[in-house]
Each structure stands twice: as C-alpha cells, then as structure tokens.
Amino acid sequence: MPQVSMKVNGTERSGEIEGRTLLVEFLREGLKLTGTHVGCDTSQCGACVVHVNGKAVKACTMFAAEAEGAEVTTIEGIAGKDGTLSAVQQAFRDYHGLQCGFCTPGMVMSATALLEENPKPTESEVRHYLEGNLCRCTGYQNIVKAVMAASGQEVAPVAAE
C-alpha cells in the first residue's frame, strides 16, 4: 500500500492509504482524529471542513494522497495547547451556536477561515461564506451571531435576510 505523509496540527504524521482513501478517512480512521465528521456523500454538508495549507476544504472531497506534504489543520488543532478555546470556539459557546454538535467542527473551521480572509465580515458575508456548511438544529441564527461576535463586532440585533 502507498504511504502518505503530512503535517497535521503541527505534527508530522504518515500512514498507509489506498488510492481511493479520502483525506477525511485518513484523518478519522488512520490518525483517529474523529472530530472531523462525515454527514453526506455529495460535498454539501461541510461537517468535514479542515484547512489544507491554510485553505478551508472539504476533507471528504479530496484524496489523502493529494495532501502529501501539506499542512493540515483539523478541529483538534484549533484550541490552544492548554485547552483555551479560540475566539471562534468561545463565541460559539457564548452565543449558543451549536446544539447536537455534529456540524460544529466544520462550522468552526469554515468560520475560522472566513475571519482569516475577512476579519470584519458583514452579516451577509458570514451567511454566504457558511453556505457550504449545513446545520439542522440551530436555524443558523446563533451561528451567525457567534461569528460576528468572534470578529469583535456587535451582534445584536442580528436579523435574518
């Protein structure tokens, strides 16, 4: 079986893969990083979003072999080493931006990427950026509030479009 090596959350990791092994399968099954979730098979739900070389990508729609030599960040690599939540994570908690938690890792990874590209997004920009991340519990309102709060902007009142 071919080998793949990549830096995951700052640590060099490698393992055996098949050609058809998806990045998300390598992370979840190979590296036991089960925070990255799989909610669909059509690239729509976004529960699997990770960062590859600093860009948000759907780990279910990329082969592990294509991440050879890449720097990958997963949800497990977002909080500080001492467990301190990132601004985005903290805001999700403060503004009740999650319920069952299944979409949450992908939401946090996408929101983190958004704020790196665009530190002060408008509410509309937040909604558009999270278009590829589905949540079934919250109705999105509190997720938008959380991202606005994480960017240091006023959150209330946040109205639906």
Partner 1 sequence: MYAFEIERPTELSAAVAALKDEGAQALGGGQTLIPSLKQRLAMPEKLVSLSAIDEIKGVTREGDALVVGGGATHGEIAAAAEEAGFRGLAMMARQIGDPAVRNRGTMGGSLANNDPSACYPSMALATGATIVTDRREIAAADFFQGLFATALEEGEIIVRIRIPVPAASSYQKFAQPASRFPLVGVFVARTGEGARVAVTGAGEDGVFRWSEAEEALSAGWSAEAVAGLSHPSEGLISDLHGTPAYRAHLIGVMTRRGVADAA
Partner 2 sequence: MPKDHGIGASSKRREDVRFLTGQGQYTDDINLAGQAHVHFLRSDVAHGRIRGIDTAAAEAMPGVVRIFTGKDFEGIGSIPCGWQITDRQGNPMQEPAHPVLAQGKVRHVGDPICAVVAESRAQARDAAEAIELDIEALPAVIDMKAALQEGAPKVHDDLKDNLCYDWGFVEDNREAVDKAIREAAHVTTLELVNNRLVANPMEPRVAVGDYASHSGESTLYTTSQNPHVIRLLMGAFVLGIPEHKLRVVAPDVGGGFGTKIFHYAEEAFCTFAAKELRRPVKWTSTRSEAFMSDAHGRDHVTKIELALDAENNFTALRTETHANMGAYLSTFAPSVPTWLHGTLMAGNYRTPLIYVNVKAVFTNTVPVDAYRGAGRPEATYQLERVIDKAARELGVDPMELRRQNFITEFPYATPVAVEYDTGDYNATLDRLKELADVAGFEARRVASKAKGRLRGFGMNCYIEACGIAPSNLVGQLGARAGLYESATVRVNATGGLVVMTGSHSHGQGHETTFAQVIAEMIGIGEDQVEIVHGDTARTPMGMGTYGSRSEARPWSVRPRRSSTRRGRSRPT
Among residues 3, 43, 122, 124, the one that binds partner 1 under rule CB under 8 A: 43
Which phi and psi angles does 123 have, rounded to 5°? Answer: -60, -40
Using CB under 8 A as the binding criterion, the count of chain residues that bind partner 1 stands at 29
Our finding on whether 34 is near partner 1 (CB under 8 A) is no
Question: How far, in Å, CA of 45 to CA of 29, rounded?
Answer: 20
Q: CA angle 157-84-111, nearest 5°?
A: 45
Segment near partner 1 (CB under 8 A); pick from 8-16, 60-68, 139-147, 149-157: 60-68
Residue 108: name its binding partner from partner 1, partner 2, none (Cβ under 5 to 8 Å by kind): partner 2
Pairing of strands 3-8, 71-73: parallel
CA distance 98 to 62: 26
57 binds partner 1 (CB under 8 A): yes
31 sits near partner 2 (criterion: CB under 8 A): no
The residue within the footprint of partner 1, chosen from 11, 12, 32, 42 (CB under 8 A), is 42
Q: Which residues contact residue 37 at a Cβ distance below 8 angstroms, ignoring those fewer than 6 apart?
A: 47, 48, 102, 103, 105, 106
* Number of CB atoms found within 10 A of residue 48's CB: 26
Residue 132: name its binding partner from partner 2, partner 1, none (Cβ under 5 to 8 Å by kind).
partner 1
Interacting residue ranges for partner 1, rule: CB under 8 A = 2, 18-20, 22, 41-43, 46, 49, 52, 55-58, 60-63, 65-66, 68, 110, 113-114, 129, 131-133
